[in-house]
Amino acid sequence: MVSEATNTRKKSVLWDWLTTVDHKKIAILYLIAGALFFVKAGLMAVLFRIQLIAPEMEFISGQTFNELVTMHGTIMLFLAATPLIFAFANFAVPLQIGARDVAFPFVNSLGFWLFLSGGILLSISWFFGGAPDAGWTSYVPLASREFGGIGIDFYVLGLQISGFGTLVSGINFIVTIINMRAPGMTMMRLPLFVWTMLITSMLIVFAFTPLAAGLALLMLDRIFDAQFFIPGEGGNVVLWQHIFWIFGHPEVYILVLPAFGIISEVIPAFSKKRLFGYTSMVFAVLIIGFLSFMVWLHHMFTVGVGPIANSVFAIATMTIAVPTGIKIFNWLFTMWGGKIRFTTAMHFAASFVPTFVLGGVTGVMLAMAPVTHLYHDTYFVVAHFHYIIVGGIVLGLFAGFFYWYPKMFGHKLNETLGIIMFWLFYIGFHLTFFIQHILGLMGMPRRVYTFLEGQGLDTMNFISTIGAFLMSAAIIVLVVNIVYSALNSERVTVKDPWDARTLEWATHTPIPEYNFAQTPQVRSLDPVFYEKIHGNGEMKPVEPLDEIHMPNGSILPLIISIGLFIAGFGFISFHLDLFISPYVFIAVGGILTFGAMAARSLQNDHGYHIDKETVESMEKELS
């Protein structure tokens, strides 16, 4: 048994972060890594928008354009949006349910390092013959060995490793939410963000599994000359599309449901009202999660699966508008008559509503099978999914970032810089993507690296690129804000700087590693707000103050991830001209991975306890 003081004194800062299993630190790791990938993918978008700023530009080649577009989409969906959502989930979910950590802290750490090692493996493709170039969907035969470059191998192995991390993290959140809720936190008292993460985690389990299977088949095709997707050898290219979109459509909701949850936390907090129609919101989330698996075929209307299948999936797709509409009206009714404070977080949350509605309306248009034949390969589709991904998910993430930042880092971001950043981003977003609806209706095809003069497309493409510059400027302002606020903002010493409603605001700022010295008793849907009105403003404990059990940190998740990275590179190097045999990489990676797994299995790790006197001392210091 090791005391808390002894446990922390032995670690350097670097070692502490490399071995941490604390959900709050892992949240920050996800936040930093996801933000770096977000900036990287954004810069790629700026580069190919410069290529499209005028007709017949020669800023980049067609091959580079294909690689940039592929990497932009892949990174944004798998390595930016997903980890940023996990950042907020890791931070907020255990706190909102009154837990001390997630159910499996070791697995939580493993999930992060797997995601990062997979992302790095994908990113180094630029240095080994070129990045993936078959689009983020990697349709076969474009992604086959015959037509696709070596970058596709990095895509397959990188996403496979990263996907394992996402999968185990999803399982971890399900177990955490089901089993670790504080007394009184019934399922119908869960904050909406926790509900959305529960459904999201279930979607991850059921959606990432077919993706893993599909990537494994594609890997067998490319590396071991199998024939699953090779028509000339008896394979079927449409099989890949089915597998991909059975994952791909729920993936949209894996990303957007947590954004719904964030908006459902921010709007009540800054409207000073309870979330309108909580029960209907919960059932809307459940229905959306279920229907998300019933509509994958609408991505394949132009493949030619027949009128009956097209009709069934068109109706199922349009049905999703019903529960989504319920959520939209409930957010509006929450704001209606409220004492709204237009903080930066509220700006992003409020702007999310009309922007997402527009993305939803164009989604209904695309759900009509005959009409999709007109829109499918045009910029109209590009505009639609960016109104969902950026206008929905990214705006929601920014709202959550400004909302939870004081709790995560102990000081607020500057509001003036925040508002400037919001308007730059919001105007830039609409300049970039609204106009792409019109470009699509005019017939401008997507996935082309240039266009000709005299087609009436020049001005709108120019405006679209200027919008991308404005969005980039907004990100620069955000970075300035983070640095400026870290140097100049006063430290937040109160538990609840926003006068919010949910349980994460009942803990100290900064949050001690054990979250709650005593497990709180939950007596209402909005427990913190309830105690302000009906209690003394403090959560009532359900246990006496005593020593607290905590998990030990471990370097093994990092070693397992490094091992899989090396082994994955080994499989790719079968088609690289290296002086080291692929079998050496595979052997070294396998030894590291299975050695670390064996060490973990044989390790007798019972964690440690923070003694009662230390807890009392820390509570007194933070009060």
Residue 129 has which token pair? 């013959």
Query: Most distant CA pair in the chain: distance in Å?
Result: 78
What pLDDT is stored for residue 477 in this prediction? Answer: 98
Q: Using CB atoms within 10 Å of the CB of residue 197, give its burial: 0 to 12 exposed, 13 to 18 middle, 19+ buried.
A: buried
C-alpha distances out from residue 99 to 125, 173, 362, 466, 607, Å? 41, 12, 41, 46, 17
Q: What is the mean pLDDT of the chain?
A: 93
C-alpha distances out from residue 617 to 109, 196, 355, 607, 612, Å? 29, 37, 48, 21, 9
Query: Are the beta carbons of 183 and 519 closer than 8 angstroms?
Result: yes
Arithmetic mean of pLDDT, 153-174: 96
Which DSSP string corresponds to 501-558?
-SGGGGS-SSPPTTS-SSPBPP-SSSHHHHHHHHSSSSPPBSS----EEEPPP-SHHH
pLDDT band at residue 9 using 50, 70 and 90 as cut-offs = low
Residue 527 has which token pair? 């427990």
C-alpha distances out from residue 395 to 222, 350, 386, Å? 38, 9, 11
Lowest-confidence segment of 359-363, 391-395, 533-537 by average pLDDT:
533-537
Over pLDDT 90: what percentage of the chain?
83
| Cα(173)–Cα(175) distance, integer angstroms | 5
The string of pLDDT tens digits covering residues 265-296 is 999 999 999 999 999 999 999 999 999 888 88
Over pLDDT 70: what percentage of the chain?
98
| Cα(543)–Cα(537) distance, integer angstroms | 18
Give the CA radius of gyration of the chain. 25
What pLDDT is stored for residue 83 in this prediction? Answer: 95
Arithmetic mean of pLDDT, 47-76: 95
Query: Are the beta carbons of 112 and 134 closer than 8 angstroms?
Result: no
| Cα(112)–Cα(592) distance, integer angstroms | 18
Find the angle CA(54)-CA(55)-CA(58) to the nearest 5 degrees. 85
Q: Chain centroid to CA 274: how far?
A: 27
Closest CA to 44 of 24, 14, 66, 18: 66
* pLDDT greater than 70 at residue 1: no
pLDDT band at residue 7 using 50, 70 and 90 as cut-offs = low
| Cα(417)–Cα(261) distance, integer angstroms | 25
Query: How many CB atoms neighbour CB 335 within 10 A?
Result: 19
Arithmetic mean of pLDDT, 31-47: 97
The string of pLDDT tens digits covering residues 492-532 is 888 999 999 999 999 998 899 999 999 999 999 999 999 98
* Amino acid symbol at 110: L
* pLDDT greater than 80 at residue 2: no
pLDDT band at residue 604 using 50, 70 and 90 as cut-offs = confident
Handedness of CA 325, 90, 103, 101 (dihedral sign): negative
What pLDDT is stored for residue 10 in this prediction? Answer: 63
Residue 362 has which token pair? 């164009």
The string of pLDDT tens digits covering residues 536-557 is 888 999 999 999 999 999 999 9
Domains, the chain:
13-554+605-622 (1.20.210.10)
The string of pLDDT tens digits covering residues 424-436 is 999 999 999 999 9
What pLDDT is stored for residue 94 in this prediction? Answer: 96
C-alpha distances out from residue 488 to 258, 399, 496, Å? 32, 22, 20
The string of pLDDT tens digits covering residues 384-405 is 999 999 999 999 999 999 999 9
| Cα(466)–Cα(471) distance, integer angstroms | 9
Query: Are the beta carbons of 374 and 409 closer than 8 angstroms?
Result: no
Q: Chain centroid to CA 410: how far?
A: 23
Arithmetic mean of pLDDT, 304-314: 90
Query: How many CB atoms neighbour CB 454 within 10 A?
Result: 8
Lowest-confidence segment of 41-45, 185-189, 292-296 by average pLDDT:
292-296
Residue 89 has which token pair? 């989930």
